[in-house]
Structure 1
């Protein structure tokens, strides 16, 4: 079997007497979209925080391309190839679309302290950012102010920022949040095309998108992985249907 790109082993996190991540082991394999679903309060955000470096685990480990990154900070993980998009937008709204994309390219180059003005004149960095914008369909809006974009376009810009990191793996936290039917379909098509560039760990409540995209699904319930399998496996699992999917299955 192909070695995983991203892997957690027995990841555990406690807040006082509450165990929020209870020995979680999962992996992300090359070329796949692995969806993580579960009810509110299941511990998805805490798990993603540990994977991306904003929350330190109490036990267990995280490996990226075979390297233990458990103790690395968020910037170091990004430079190692872990790209994240957020449930709530983290864009600089008063900057241009291109400037936002350049921030990611600067991080990928290991030079986050450089001024954007000088980065705009760096041909290689600018080319990286412009290519990412073209990839998500925002090439014609490079000079627009980010605050002028629609919600769906801001979501696409977040993906472009992640792309400038030349990622080895994506972690995407509810990319469909706030999108209507047309926006969700557009984002679904975009993510479907990205899996060949880097696999995606997808946290998402939109079950239509999950079922359309996922190669595997893991169900997180009360801090534990209750089931992992294909879309067909998860649809057919009676415990998952009863606890989470309901009529959506």
Structure 2
């Protein structure tokens, strides 16, 4: 098997007496979708923040593209090719679709001062932005205001912004959230093809989507990985079933 592009080793994080992450180890290999699932409050968002660089673990390491990135910032990890999309959109709704992607391409250069110069006339940035929009199927919408897009199209736009980073992997936090059945099916088809460009660590509550897309699934409960395996392994795992039945009984 090829070396993992993302290798999380023994990550732990506590907030007072609460262990949000407890010795978590998992990895992501080229060409795969590795889904991270678990009940509300399991620690999924805390883990993703540690992987992305927004939160420093108490112990353990995050290796990305063969490098220990544990001490690096979110921006530095993005520069290395870690692309992230968020549960809550971080897009500038008043900007056009193209402007959002151009700003993403600008961020990859690390030239923050260019924001004050006419970036929308920069041929290289525009070419990168249009290429990314073509790849996600939004080129025909480049002049639309982002606020005019559907929820699913905004998810695609977030991926287009991430693509300008030339990502080696994606971290996706509940991309199906708020989508109807049609939008979910469309986004699932898109993500299925996207894995060949860059593997995806997918946090998702939509179990139909997870079972349809994931090559492997890790189950996080109370800050601990209780199982990792293929779809059939997870479906038939009695410990996993008990964990989810427990969530339903408590609801």
- 1:92-171 equivalences under 5 Å are 92-115=92-115, 118-171=118-171
Residue 244 of structure 1: aligned partner? 244
Of 116-125 and 48-57, more deviation after overlay is shown by 116-125
Distance 1:117 1:35 in 2: 41
Identify the residue that residue 9 of structure 1 maps to in structure 2: 9
Distance in 2 between residues matched to 1:113 and 1:38, nearest whole Å? 41
**CA distance, structure 2, for counterparts of residue 116 and residue 183 of structure 1:** 36
SS at match of 1:40: coil
| 8 Å contact from structure 1 (residues 173, 204) kept in 2 | yes
Compared with structure 1, are the counterparts of its residues 181 and 127 closer, same or farther at alpha carbon in structure 2 (3 Å cutoff)?
same
Counterpart in the other structure of 1:202 = 202
Shift of 1:112: 3.3
Gaps of 5+ in 2: 247-251
- Partner of 1:113, secondary structure, is helix
Once the two structures are TM-superposed, the CA of residue 128 in structure 1 deviates from its matched residue by 1.1
Taking structure 2 as the reference length, the TM-score comes to: 0.95
Is the contact made by 1:99 and 1:116 (CA closer than 8 Å) also made in structure 2?
A: no
SS of the aligned residue for 1:87 comes to coil
Output the TM-score relative to the length of structure 1.
0.96
Counterpart of 2:112 in 1: which secondary structure?
Answer: coil
Aligned residues: 246
Please report how far the alpha carbon of residue 113 of structure 1 lies from its aligned counterpart in structure 2 after TM superposition: 3.1
Distance in structure 2 (CA, Å) of the matches to 1:148 and 1:44? 31
Deviation at 1:111, TM superposition (A): 2.0
Q: CA contact under 8 A between 1:103 and 1:112: conserved in structure 2?
A: no
Segments of 4+ in structure 1 off by > 6 A?
none
SS at match of 2:113: coil
The 8 Å contact of residues 13 and 58 in structure 1, kept in 2 or not, is answered as yes
Structure 1 pair 51–20 and aligned structure 2 pair: CA distance change class (3 A): same
Q: Secondary structure at the match of 1:101?
A: helix
- Over the aligned positions, Cα root-mean-square deviation in angstroms equals 1.3
Over residues 64-101 of structure 1, what are the superposed CA-to-partner deviations in whole Å (9 max), with x where a residue is unaligned?
A: 01100001111100000000000001000111100111
Stretches of structure 1 that go unaligned for 5 or more consecutive residues are none
